[in-house]
Chains A and B, each alone.
Chain A
Amino acid sequence: MSDIDIKRISYLAKLKLPPEKEEFYSNSLKDIIKWVDNLKKVDTSKTEPLHNVTEKTISIRNDEVSKSNSVDDVLSNAPERAQNFFKVPKVVE
C-alpha cells in the first residue's frame, strides 16, 4: 500500500484539517485501508460489480412539468440571501 496523501484527499473532500489533526487522520486512514486490504486477495475476475441490489426501476418520468413549492420554500434555510438569490462572497474564476 502506498502512502496516503492526506492533504490531497482532504482537498478533494473540501476539508481543511487542522495541522495538528492531519497525522491523526492520516494514521487512522492508513489503519483502515490496511484493514480492508484483504479484499485484494478475492478472485473477482469473473464477477461483475454490483451497484445496487435493486437492478430494475419503474421510476421513469414522462416529460411533464409540475411545480410543488414556492421560491421561498427553497430559500427559507439560506444562511444569506439577497432578494431571491443565494448570496456568497465573490467567486473568482
Chain B
Amino acid sequence: MKNSISQIKKALIEKKISVCELYDEYLAKAKSCNNNSFNLVIDRENNISSINDSQDRYDNGNPLPLDGIPLGIKDLFCTKGIRTTASSKILSNFIPNYESFVTQQLLNDGSIFIGKNNCDEFAMGSSNETSYFGPVINPWKNKNSQKDNLVPGGSSGGSAAAVAEGSCVASMGTDTGGSIRQPASLCGIVGLKPTFGSCSRWGIVAFASSLDQAGPLTNCVEDAAYVLNSINKHDFNDSTSSNHQREDYLVDINNSFEKKIKIGIPSDYLEDVSEDILNQIDNTKKALSKHGIEFVDVKFKTTEHALSTYYILAPAEASSNLARYDGIRYGVREDGESLDDIYLNSRTKGFGDEVTRRILIGAYVLSAGYYDAYYRQAQKVRRLIKNDFQRILNEVDFILTPTTPNEAFKIGDKLDPISMYKNDIYTVPTSLAGLPGISIPSGLSKNGLPLGVQFIGNYFEEKSLLQLAALAEKELSFNE
C-alpha cells in the first residue's frame, strides 16, 4: 500500500525515516520503473541542500506543510535551472531562468522535486503517445493480456504513471480538457482539476489559456487537499487568477456533510456506455446512498456540442500560443538559408504530428471567412454550456459522471484523432464551464483495469468537493 502524505510526515516527524532516505527510496523507484514516466530525474546531489534544509526543519520541530515530500512535476511547468521541454523537440534544450508560480508555492512549502514528468507534447493528447520522448507505459496491465503495454492516458500521463508506480508521493499535472482527470482514472489514482482561475498559469507552458489549469495527481483525496492548500493562491501576474478567499481544504475533509446533499447524474452521459462504466456509476451511487445522499437525474442540453466546441477553441488558442516557438530566442533552431527557412524548419521539425494538426486546425478556424462560423460560434456555444451547468448546479450540489468512456487501451491502438478526442467526452464540458472536477478510483473493469468516476462541484467549492470525494473514496477503495 502506498503511504499518504500525512503518514509520511508522521514517519519523518517520528524519525522513522530521514528526508534523505525518503528521497532515495522514491528516486530508486523512479529509476527502476521502466514506464518512461519522467523526462528527467534529479539526483540526490542536485537536491541535497533542499533535503538538508528540510531535515533541519524536522529536527527543529517546525516542518512546513509539504516538507520533504518528493513530488513529480509535469514537464510543462517551468522550473528554474531545470530543463523544461513540454515533451517537445522544439523545447528539448530549454532551461528556464524562472520558476512557475505553482511550483514555487510547492517549494516554499518544503516539497522536493524528484523530476519532470513526461506528458503529451505541449499537453496535446489523451494517451501520452505524442511525447517527443516516447510514450509512457501504464503501470497497470490487462489481466487477460499481460504482455500489452497500455497507455496511462494524457496529457499528464507521466504524472499519473509516476504516482501509480510509486516513484513520487504526488505529482503536478495540468488539465485543459481532462488531462489530469483522465490519466488519473486510467492509472487508478486521484486527479483534481480546480476551478479555472484558482491556480496561477504563470510559468506553465501554455496550451489553451482560457482552459489550462494546474492540479494535483495523488494516491488519495486527502493528499490532493494537501497539495491544493499549497498551490491554490491568487497571483497578480496572472490576469485570470481569481482573488476569492481560499480555504483550508484539509479541515473537515473527513467529516460527513451537515446538510442534505443532492447529486445529479446526467442520464445522457450514460447512453451507449459499456457495462464496466455503468458499474462505476452504480457502485458510487450505492456507496453514497448509504450516507443519505440523494441522487437525481439531470439533463444537459449541450452535451453533444461540448467536444466540437473544445476542439475549435483549444486549437485556436494553441495555434497562437505556440507561435512563439521559432528557434530565434530559445529552443532548438534548425538550419536554414534565410530567416524564413529557419522559422519554417525549426517549427516544422520541432513539432510532432498532433501538435502540427492542432496548430493547423487553430489557424483554420481563426482565418478570414471561417472565424464567425467556427471560432465565434464556438465561443457562443461555450456560454450555453456554462449556462447549462449553472442551471443544473442550481438544482443539485454536485454532478456525478464517469471520468472516461473506457479503460486504458493499448499503446498504438487509437490512430484516428477523432476517436482519440472522444476520450475527453466527460471531462471537456467541465473544462469549458471552468468548473472544478475530481476523478477518484471507483473500481476495476472486467480486465482488472482501474476506472474512475468524476464529481463536479460549483465554482470555487473545492472544499466540499474534496469532502464528498473523500467520503466516496472510503467506500470505493479497492486493492490492486
Chain A interface residues toward B at CB < 8 A: 4, 6, 8-10, 12-18, 25, 28-29, 31-33, 35-40, 42, 44, 47-54, 57-59, 69, 73-74, 76-80, 86, 88-92
Q: Contact check: which of A29, A39, A44 meets B364 at CB < 8 Å?
A: A29
**Complex contact B364–A59 (CB within 8 A):** no
Which residues in window 81-97 of B have CB below 8 A to A?
A: 93-95, 97
**Complex contact A15–B356 (CB within 8 A):** yes
Q: Contact check: which of A17, A33, A54, A73 meets B242 at CB < 8 Å?
A: A54
B312 at interface, CB cutoff 8 A: yes
**Complex contact B379–A49 (CB within 8 A):** yes
**Complex contact B383–A49 (CB within 8 A):** yes
B331 at interface, CB cutoff 8 A: yes
Chain B's nearest CB lies how many Å from the CB of A45? Answer: 9
If A50-B380, A59-B238 are given as contacts, then 18 extra A-B residue pairs at C-beta distance below 8 Å, sorted by A number, are A8-B367, A12-B363, A12-B367, A14-B323, A15-B351, A17-B356, A32-B361, A32-B417, A36-B312, A39-B308, A39-B374, A48-B380, A54-B196, A54-B242, A86-B328, A86-B329, A89-B342, A92-B338
**Complex contact A57–B380 (CB within 8 A):** no
**Complex contact A50–B383 (CB within 8 A):** yes
Chain A's nearest CB lies how many Å from the CB of B418? Answer: 5
Chain B interface, number of residues (Cβ within 8 angstroms): 69
Bound: A32/B382 CA distance, A = 18
Which residues in window 405-446 of B have CB below 8 A to A?
A: 417-418, 433-434
**Which one of B339, B342, B363, B433 has the greatest number of beta carbons of chain A within 10 Å?**
B363
Bound: A60/B109 CA distance, A = 28
The chain A residue sitting closest to B91, CB to CB, is: A77
Chain B's nearest CB lies how many Å from the CB of A23? Answer: 13
List of A residues within 8 angstroms of B237 by Cβ: 59
Chain B's nearest CB lies how many Å from the CB of A6? Answer: 7
**Complex contact A29–B347 (CB within 8 A):** no
List of A residues within 8 angstroms of B433 by Cβ: 53
List of A residues within 8 angstroms of B128 by Cβ: none
Chain A's nearest CB lies how many Å from the CB of B101? Answer: 13
Bound: A28/B337 CA distance, A = 31
Bound: A89/B335 CA distance, A = 10
**Complex contact A50–B379 (CB within 8 A):** yes
**Complex contact A14–B360 (CB within 8 A):** no
List of B residues within 8 angstroms of A69 by Cβ: 97-98
Known: A16-B345, A59-B239. A9 touches B360 (CB 8 A): yes
B377 at interface, CB cutoff 8 A: yes
Bound: A92/B338 CA distance, A = 9
Q: Contact check: which of B240, B312, B336, B362 meets A52 at CB < 8 Å?
A: B240
Q: Contact check: which of B197, B348, B379, B418 meets A15 at CB < 8 Å?
A: B348
The chain A residue sitting closest to B354, CB to CB, is: A28
B319 at interface, CB cutoff 8 A: yes
**Complex contact A39–B378 (CB within 8 A):** yes
Bound: A16/B238 CA distance, A = 34
Contact with A along B349-362 (1 / 0, CB 8 A): 00100001101111
Q: 10 tightest CB-CB pairs across the interface, nearest first? A: A53-B434, A77-B330, A49-B379, A79-B333, A44-B380, A50-B383, A36-B308, A59-B239, A16-B344, A73-B97
Bound: A59/B200 CA distance, A = 12
The chain A residue sitting closest to B379, CB to CB, is: A49
**Complex contact A32–B344 (CB within 8 A):** no
**Complex contact A76–B95 (CB within 8 A):** yes
**Complex contact B363–A78 (CB within 8 A):** no
**Which one of A13, A54, A74 has the greatest number of beta carbons of chain B within 10 Å?**
A13
Bound: A16/B347 CA distance, A = 8
B464 at interface, CB cutoff 8 A: no
B327 at interface, CB cutoff 8 A: yes
B142 at interface, CB cutoff 8 A: no
List of B residues within 8 angstroms of A51 by Cβ: 210, 379
Q: Contact check: which of B240, B323, B343 meets A54 at CB < 8 Å?
A: B240
Chain B's nearest CB lies how many Å from the CB of A66? Answer: 12
Chain B's nearest CB lies how many Å from the CB of A31? Answer: 6
Contact with A along B225-246 (1 / 0, CB 8 A): 0000000000011111111000
B1 at interface, CB cutoff 8 A: no
**Which one of A18, A37, A79, A89 has the greatest number of beta carbons of chain B within 10 Å?**
A79
Bound: A49/B286 CA distance, A = 40
B305 at interface, CB cutoff 8 A: yes
Bound: A24/B367 CA distance, A = 21
**Complex contact A38–B308 (CB within 8 A):** yes
Chain B's nearest CB lies how many Å from the CB of A4? Answer: 7
**Complex contact B360–A10 (CB within 8 A):** yes
